[in-house]
């Protein structure tokens, strides 16, 4: 495992350090039984199994944790959380790792975090998600000309069914602006 040489490649912010410590506390009593790995529908696509990931968290191997795509492959099915014999909140621990990757803008996770970021931007502007707008921003950031094609067939079908509006949202009602601001304020104060 090349990721475990122990030399941090990205300097971690204090907040990111707190995050990993938070996750470590969440999985502290892990007994490495592997029930999570055996229950995970996405394990086949992961570079580390969930069990291996938790071990690396416990060993504070930050660089190995944040080189793995395992936590980004969590689809929040909650099978591991349901079955963990220690009752650990494993799905939630995966979320905290995603939050760190998102906040620290770690480049290797950008194809996924950009998707979430543009989704959040859209609901911040409009209160409810505007699919056309957020996918347009997402595609623009990804700069992969072929990427929209993967969805264009579906997009056209949805438009034909009247399920996807082609109208660009001009009015920004921003009913969630106060909430977003307050959350940012509280998080910065931490």
Partner 1 sequence: MKYHYYPGCSLEGTAREYDQSARALLAALGVQLSVIDGWTCCGASAAEATSALLALALPARNLALAERQAEAMDVLVPCSACYLNLKTAAEKTRTDALLAAQINAVLGAEQLHLQGRLRVRHLLDVLTTDLGAAAVRAKVVRPLTGLRIAPYYGCQCLRPYADFDDPERPTSMDPLIRAAGAEVFPWQMGGRCCGASHMSTQHDVGIALVAGILEAARGAAAIVTVCPMCQMNLEAFQGAAGRAAGNDLHINILYLPQLIGLAVGLDASVLGLRLNLAFDNALIRSIPVAA
The contact set with partner 1 (CB under 8 A) reads: 41-42, 44-45, 72-73, 75-79, 81-82, 91, 95-96, 98-99, 102-103, 111-113, 115-117, 119-120, 123, 127-129, 131, 150-151, 154, 157-158, 161-165, 175-176, 178-183, 186-187
For residues 126 and 134, the answer to whether their CB atoms sit within 8 Å is no
Cβ proximity to partner 1: between 10 and 139 the closer is 139
Three-point CA angle 182, 109, 84, nearest 5°: 80
Taking the complex as a whole, the smallest distance from the CB of residue 36 to partner 1 amounts, in Å, to 13
Cβ proximity to partner 1: between 8 and 175 the closer is 175
User: Residue 54 and residue 93: Cα distance in Å, rounded?
Assistant: 9
Cβ proximity to partner 1: between 4 and 92 the closer is 92
Taking the complex as a whole, the smallest distance from the CB of residue 49 to partner 1 amounts, in Å, to 15
Q: How many CA atoms lie within 13 A of 49 on its CB side?
A: 12
User: Residue 123 and residue 118: Cα distance in Å, rounded?
Assistant: 9
Cβ proximity to partner 1: between 11 and 44 the closer is 44
- What are the φ and ψ backbone dihedral angles of 86, each rounded to 5 degrees? -95, 0
For residues 29 and 86, the answer to whether their CB atoms sit within 8 Å is yes
Beta strands in the chain (DSSP E): none
Taking the complex as a whole, the smallest distance from the CB of residue 41 to partner 1 amounts, in Å, to 4
> How far is CA 22 from each of CA 63, 67, 96, 149, rounded to the nearest angstrom?
16, 19, 8, 40
User: Residue 122 and residue 110: Cα distance in Å, rounded?
Assistant: 18
Taking the complex as a whole, the smallest distance from the CB of residue 95 to partner 1 amounts, in Å, to 5
Taking the complex as a whole, the smallest distance from the CB of residue 154 to partner 1 amounts, in Å, to 5
The two structure tokens encoding residue 78: 């909650």
Cβ proximity to partner 1: between 59 and 179 the closer is 179
Taking the complex as a whole, the smallest distance from the CB of residue 117 to partner 1 amounts, in Å, to 7
Cβ proximity to partner 1: between 7 and 85 the closer is 85
């Amino acid at each position: 495992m090349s990721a475990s040489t122990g030399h941090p490649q990205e300097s971690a912010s204090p907040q990111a350090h707190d995050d990993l410590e938070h996750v470590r506390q969440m999985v502290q009593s892990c007994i490495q039984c592997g029930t999570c790995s055996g229950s995970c529908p996405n394990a086949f696509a992961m570079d580390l199994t969930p069990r291996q990931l938790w071990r690396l968290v416990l060993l504070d191997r930050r660089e190995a944790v944040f080189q793995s795509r395992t936590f980004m492959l969590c689809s929040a099915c909650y099978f591991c959380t349901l079955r963990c014999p220690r009752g650990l909140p494993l799905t939630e621990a995966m979320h905290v790792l995603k939050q760190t990757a998102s906040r620290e803008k770690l480049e290797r996770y950008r194809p996924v975090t950009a998707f979430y970021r543009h989704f959040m931007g859209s609901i911040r502007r409009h209160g409810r998600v505007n699919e056309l707008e957020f996918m347009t921003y997402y595609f623009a950031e990804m700069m992969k000309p072929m990427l929209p094609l993967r969805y264009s067939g579906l997009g056209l079908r949805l438009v034909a069914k009247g399920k996807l509006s082609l109208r660009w949202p001009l009015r920004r009602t921003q009913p969630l602006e106060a909430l977003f601001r307050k959350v940012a304020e509280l998080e910065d104060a931490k």
